[in-house]
Each structure stands twice: as structure tokens, then as C-alpha cells.
Amino acid sequence: MRIALVHDFLNTWGGGEYVLKVFTELYPEAPIYSLTYKQAIVDEFFPGRKIIPSFLQNYPGMPDKFKYYLSFMPKAIESFDFSDYDVVLSDSSAYAKGAITKGATKHVCYLHTPTRYLWSDREEYIKNAPIPLPIIGRSVVKGIVKKLQKWDLEAAKRPDVIIANSKYIAERTRTYYHRDPEYVVFPPVNVKQFKIGTPGDYFLVLARAEPYKRTDLAIQAANKLGLKLKVVGGGTKIKYLQEMAGPNVEFLGRVSEEEKVRLFSGCLAFIFPPKEDAGITPLEAMASGRPVIAYSEGGALESVVEGETGEFFSDQTVDSLVEVLKVFDPSNYNPQKIRQHADKFDKEIFKNRIQQIVNDALSSDKR
């Protein structure tokens, strides 16, 4: 079977890139098509892989300035030729789902989310979008977004099979794309990578320092209660977060995989404040036998079991999180049972399911 992998952008490392890495384990000979890539990301996480970028890779300022080229993205993803492949397996939170296949070539899309800045976060994006030149106003951005919405709706019809990464995203797919995903398969965790250890005296947050991750809630709650908090990850809002943090909050930046394992196994609990599409980091915490304190919306509702593997706070506010932290008792949780729950999401189960779906798509006559 000749298979091509398609990804939006290989410019950073996150949950979507982890899913792609699992796909590369499943199909080690498959090339990776991506609109743009950063060599440092490829060298660290995809060494030796064949990466095929779009024409955008050579545009001025790329790949760092990719947000300035949004209107070129549809043409870029459509420029790839997949006629030599039996299957295209894309993972998409934006443009990869719009890859065009012809003839007998099947397209299976693992959908992380309908494009946020075109649908659920549209108004916020228009308000805060990066503007490359002062002469270009918000009305131009609004026009670009409207044009991209039209393309995005059409692109969502192209895959032969859509796999939603959670029931939450399946519902959003119906809402925004008016299409029922054929499957729901939650993202994986490499359970064997993580270990049950002796918990220390700190809570843990691991996320990119971006607004929607809501790390600010965990920091402010820790400040209020005087709790020790370790924050892992970098991003555009790291200085903002550091400025609000008290002496009880420690910023560790990016850490190695070995250090990540140690931090998860040693935390009192993992705090997960965002409304996330699915969420891999809660699975990593549970694979370490540690409970999760999560906001009670989005994909966390499908992975965390209240009272058994963690707790929920009902409102995305500091006060709501504080109320849960006040009464949280880590001794109420059995690390072995928490890890057993994480086993349900192990990457080997995920790989078998994806492989079955791809094989079924290849043998199907449906186009």
C-alpha cells in the first residue's frame, strides 16, 4: 500500500504533531506533506523522514510568518499531487483536510478540530489577527476569513473518511461542516513511557503559553492558595504569565521527555484549565498514576472520570478552580487504577484502530 501523510504545518510541537509521529510509526515509509516546516522540529521529532513542503516554504519570512499568508493556504494544499498513492492519511486542524485526491486514491482525515479561527474563534481572531502592514485593516481580514470559510466548508467534503478526535469534535463537525464523522477515535498516549512514582509537593501545568490554554487560571489559583506550581512550556504569552506569578510558581520552559516523565510522576495533580478538543496531557498524567483537575467542558469529559481519575471545576474562572483545589485530597486516588484507565488510550490500541480504518477505506468502493 502506497500511503502519504499530510499535516498542516510542522512549525512547532504539540498534540497534533504527536499524532502525526504515531502515524509515522504506523507507516514508516510514508512521506510527510506539509504546507511549511521548521528544520529544527523535523530534526528533533522526525529525523530522517522525507518532508515535502508546499511552495509557501520559500516565501519571504516563512515559516515564521505563515499567518500572513492565510489567503494562499488553500491553493498550497491543493497543489500537492497524490496520484501515485493508494491512500492519503491527513491530520488536520486547518488545511490538510482540503488535500485533493483523484481516481482510486482514498483520503482518510483525522480531524483535530474544525478550523478554530474560521468558526468557533472567528470574532476573536478578526479582532486580534496579526496585520502585516498598517494599511491593511480589519475589514480586509474579515473578507479573507469569509472567503476561507467558504473554502473550508467545501474542503470538509473532500475526505472519504473523517475520524473525529473526540465526541466533542464530532459534534462541532456536525455544527460547522454539516457532516457526520464516520468514526471517533480519541488521541493516544504512550503508557509505557510513563511511570508511577512518589508524589511530591507541587501541582503541574504543561501547555504552550497561549491564551486559550488558560494557564493564567492555574497560576492565579496557586497564588491565592499559596500552592507550589510548576509550569512547563513556552509560547507567546510566557512573559505575561511570569509577571502574574508569585514566588510559589516555577517556570521550567521546554523540558526533555525524561524530565517530563519525572514531573508527571511526582506531581500532586495535573491541572488542565483549557476547553480542549481532546487533550493528550491529561492522558500522560493518568498514565503516571496522577489525578487530573480539569475544566468540565471539551474533550476532558471523555478521558477524565470524576472521583476516580480526577476532578472537574465547573466554570473557567479562578474562583471555580480555587474551590476544587481547596478540598482536593490526593490520597483519595489509587494510582494503579488511574493508570489502568489510561491503558484504554494506549497508542498501540490507537494504531490498530487507525490501521483498520485505513484498510477498510482502501477496500471500500465509496468515493
Q: Per-residue pLDDT tens for 30-48? A: 999 999 999 999 999 999 9
Average pLDDT, the chain: 93
Contact 168, 302 (CB under 8 A): yes
What average pLDDT score do residues 309-333 get? 97
Q: Is the pLDDT of residue 135 over 90?
A: no
Which of the four pLDDT bands, split at 50, 70 and 90, describes residue 184? very high
* pLDDT at residue 67, rounded to an integer: 79
What is the pTM assigned to this prediction?
A: 0.91
* pLDDT at residue 210, rounded to an integer: 87
From 92, 87, 115, 112, select the one nearest 169 (Cα to Cα): 112
Poorest-confidence range of 76-90, 138-152, 299-313? 138-152
* pLDDT > 90 fraction of the chain, expressed in percent and rounded: 84
Which of the four pLDDT bands, split at 50, 70 and 90, describes residue 126? low
- Domain annotation for the chain: domains and CATH numbers: 3-188+347-363 (3.40.50.2000), 191-344 (3.40.50.2000)
What average pLDDT score do residues 230-234 get? 95
Q: Is the pLDDT of residue 188 over 70?
A: yes
How far is residue 201's CA from residue 136's CA, in Å, rounded to a whole number?
50
- Of the two residues 80 and 367, the one the predictor is more confident about is 80
What average pLDDT score do residues 176-186 get? 97
* pLDDT at residue 79, rounded to an integer: 97
Q: Is the pLDDT of residue 95 over 90?
A: yes
Enter the C-alpha cell of residue 91: 491530520
Q: Is the pLDDT of residue 24 over 80?
A: yes
What average pLDDT score do residues 204-212 get? 92
* pLDDT at residue 271, rounded to an integer: 98
Which of the four pLDDT bands, split at 50, 70 and 90, describes residue 145? confident
* pLDDT at residue 226, rounded to an integer: 97
Which of the four pLDDT bands, split at 50, 70 and 90, describes residue 125? low
* pLDDT at residue 131, rounded to an integer: 54
Which of the four pLDDT bands, split at 50, 70 and 90, describes residue 290? very high
b/e map of 140-161 (b: 16 or more CB within 10 Å)?
ebeeebeebeebbbebbebbbb
* pLDDT at residue 221, rounded to an integer: 98
How far is residue 57's CA from residue 42's CA, in Å, rounded to a whole number?
14
* pLDDT at residue 224, rounded to an integer: 97
What average pLDDT score do residues 315-319 get? 97
* pLDDT > 70 fraction of the chain, expressed in percent and rounded: 95
How far is residue 319's CA from residue 297's CA, in Å, rounded to a whole number?
17
DSSP lists the bridge partners of residue 164 as 111, 184
What average pLDDT score do residues 163-183 get? 97
Which of the four pLDDT bands, split at 50, 70 and 90, describes residue 68? confident
Q: Is the pLDDT of residue 350 over 90?
A: yes
- Of the two residues 237 and 350, the one the predictor is more confident about is 350
* pLDDT at residue 66, rounded to an integer: 83
Region for 2 from its dihedrals, namely left if φ exceeds 0, alpha if ψ lies in -120 to 50, beta otherwise: beta
* pLDDT at residue 313, rounded to an integer: 98
* pLDDT at residue 138, rounded to an integer: 65
- Of the two residues 258 and 143, the one the predictor is more confident about is 258
* pLDDT at residue 127, rounded to an integer: 63
Instruction: Give 150's Cβ-side CA count (13 Å radius).
Output: 6
